[in-house]
Amino acid sequence: MDAQYWDEKYAGRDRLFSGAPNGVLVTEAADLPPGQALDVGCGEGADAVWLARRGWLVTAVDISRTALQRAAAAGADVADRVAWRRADLTAVPPPAGAFDLVSVQYFPLPRRPADTALRGLLAAVAPGGTLLVASHDPAELPPRHELGIDPNDYYQPADIAGVLGEEWRVLVEETRPRTAPAPAGTRHTRDTVLRARRLR
């Protein structure tokens, strides 16, 4: 799933996602005071725009140029609050300790030796900041031969929770019903959610 894959996927449809912010983000971030946020795999920008309209300064990162162009157009009213960045965060980590919120919504983060890509995202959370991860319930994922990938090659929220050390406090780790209908053509009815605060 490289830049070409995602550009082609976005180019194949006028809109790939709903245009609404992810329900997990809305539920879990509504009570957070605005600060600096990193939106990992921002896609067409709904989450970043929602955060910016609530007062956050957002760095929204995606590997797809097509997605970022759409996102910038959708967020024209908050252009001064969102920096749209094309980057591969699995290869180049974000700045360490720079963000009060690192939001990872349904982002396919591949496993790497020594958890390097994951640890780069964790390091980006500032002391006192929040890590928020949402994924589809693994029990509802189609078989590997239907997906074309092995879900075990990618981190789930429980895997990430297992990597967190003593400098973290897990606030939410659960599977819950989705707040919005399943994306077209899928059978996702539940989300797995991890919310953790960095203590130091």
- What pLDDT is stored for residue 59 in this prediction? 98
**What's the rounded Cα separation, in Å, for the pair 69 and 128?**
32
In-domain check, residue 28: yes
In-domain check, residue 121: yes
Q: 190 phi and psi, to 5 degrees?
A: -130, 150
65-74 vs 46-53: helix axis angle to the nearest 10?
A: 30
3-class state of residue 125 by DSSP: strand
CATH classification of the domain holding 152? 3.40.50.150
In-domain check, residue 16: no
In-domain check, residue 14: no
What residues make up the domain containing 98? 3-9+23-198
Selected residue with higher pLDDT from 18 and 197: 197
- pLDDT category of residue 185 using cuts at 50, 70 and 90: low
Count of domains observed in the chain? 1
In-domain check, residue 43: yes
At 1-29, the pLDDT tens digits run 667 776 677 676 676 566 689 999 999 99
Selected residue with higher pLDDT from 49 and 20: 49
At 113-157, the pLDDT tens digits run 889 999 999 999 999 999 999 999 988 876 765 666 788 899 999
As a whole number, mean pLDDT of residues 168-182 equals: 92
Say whether pLDDT at 187 is over 60.
yes
CA 97 from centre of chain: 17
Q: How many other β-carbons are positioned within 10 Å of the β-carbon of residue 163?
A: 12
At 33-46, the pLDDT tens digits run 999 999 999 999 99
pTM above 0.85, yes or no: yes
* Look-up of token digits 């809109």: 15
At 72-97, the pLDDT tens digits run 999 999 999 999 999 999 899 999 99
In-domain check, residue 18: no
In-domain check, residue 17: no
